[in-house]
């Protein structure tokens, strides 16, 4: 627990947190009765909480002993958090340098289920444009209509990409959004072959972005970095003559920092 206890603390959340703390101390798990006693909860209340938490994989029940344990979802979240923290710290100086060089907003994202999750944003010149970008840390953006999302889609397996595209549906955000699955798959081949992706007002009118993939120590794509700004400044000519080179160089430098040495892979 950190900080002072808030006055508006939700009781269910408090009880769930207490259950996590208790179970973390017992590697062999605890029975329903033992958990109820240690948490001072009625058995029925404890069972309802555990059933709800188990549904989301935060708690698991061992089939033989019927004891309750911490769920594997917590390990997934912990690993994701550690990855994001390390990635942010390793990438931060490169993002700052890029934003300073191009005088535009720079984003760092990772895949989070069927969306791209913003884990860092550098905007050293926030007043340079009259347009307000909706991106913020912790928010998510659709994959099919964003440059970062298309980078992440392009570098997952074809079967996985097709399954994900089929599941999310290709909502048409603007008149430029690619909403046909076959057309999007062809577009992703271009992204893969050229090493970068462009969002040409496909998510927000008046905003254009260019992104490139970041690879981890195993040279697998785990994130994307982008330059975003108003179409008045992020012109297609500027992307071709300046920005695509800079975004790819930045992505490659971050990848090398993370331990990927084979940058011949696109």
Q: Is the full-model pTM beyond 0.85?
A: no
| Architecture category of domain 11-70 in CATH | Orthogonal Bundle (1.10)
Closest C-alpha among 85, 88, 90 to residue 108: 88
- The CATH number that domain 82-258 falls under is 3.30.450.40
Q: Where are the domains of the chain?
A: 11-70, 82-258
- Which residues of the chain are modeled with pLDDT < 50? 2, 129-132, 265-266
pLDDT tens digits for range 104-145: 999 999 998 899 999 999 987 665 544 445 567 778 899 999
Query: CA 146, CA 198: separation in Å to the nearest integer?
Result: 8
Query: CA 248, CA 243: separation in Å to the nearest integer?
Result: 8
Q: What was the pLDDT predicted at 73?
A: 87
Q: What was the pLDDT predicted at 157?
A: 87
C-alpha separations of 261 from 215, 230, 252 in Å: 10, 34, 9
Q: What was the pLDDT predicted at 35?
A: 94
C-alpha separations of 11 from 6, 45, 59, 123 in Å: 11, 12, 18, 39
């Amino acid at each position: 627990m950190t900080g002072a206890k808030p006055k508006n603390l939700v009781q269910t959340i408090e009880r769930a947190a207490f259950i996590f703390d208790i179970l973390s101390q017992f590697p062999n798990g605890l029975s329903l009765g033992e958990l109820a006693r240690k948490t001072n909860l009625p058995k029925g209340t404890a069972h309802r909480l555990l059933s709800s938490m188990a549904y989301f994989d935060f708690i698991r029940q061992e089939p033989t002993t019927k004891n309750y344990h911490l769920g594997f979802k917590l390990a997934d979240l912990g690993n994701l958090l550690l990855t994001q923290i390390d990635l942010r710290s390793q990438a931060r100086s490169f993002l700052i340098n890029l934003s300073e060089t191009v005088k535009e907003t720079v984003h760092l994202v990772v895949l989070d289920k069927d969306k791209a999750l913003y884990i860092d944003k550098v905007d050293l010149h926030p007043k340079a444009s009259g347009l307000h970008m909706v991106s913020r840390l912790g928010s998510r953006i659709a994959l099919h209509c964003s440059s970062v999302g298309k980078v992440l889609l392009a570098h997952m397996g074809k079967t996985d990409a097709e399954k994900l595209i089929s599941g999310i549906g290709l909502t048409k955000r603007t008149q430029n959004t690619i909403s046909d699955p076959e057309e999007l798959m062809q577009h992703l081949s271009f992204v893969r072959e050229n090493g970068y992706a462009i969002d040409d007002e496909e998510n927000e009118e008046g905003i254009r972005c260019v992104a490139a993939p970041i690879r981890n120590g195993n040279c697998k794509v785990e994130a994307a970095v982008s330059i975003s700004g108003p179409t008045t400044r992020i012109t297609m000519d500027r992307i071709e003559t300046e920005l695509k080179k800079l975004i790819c160089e930045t992505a490659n430098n971050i990848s090398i920092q993370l331990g990927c040495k084979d940058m011949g892979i696109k």
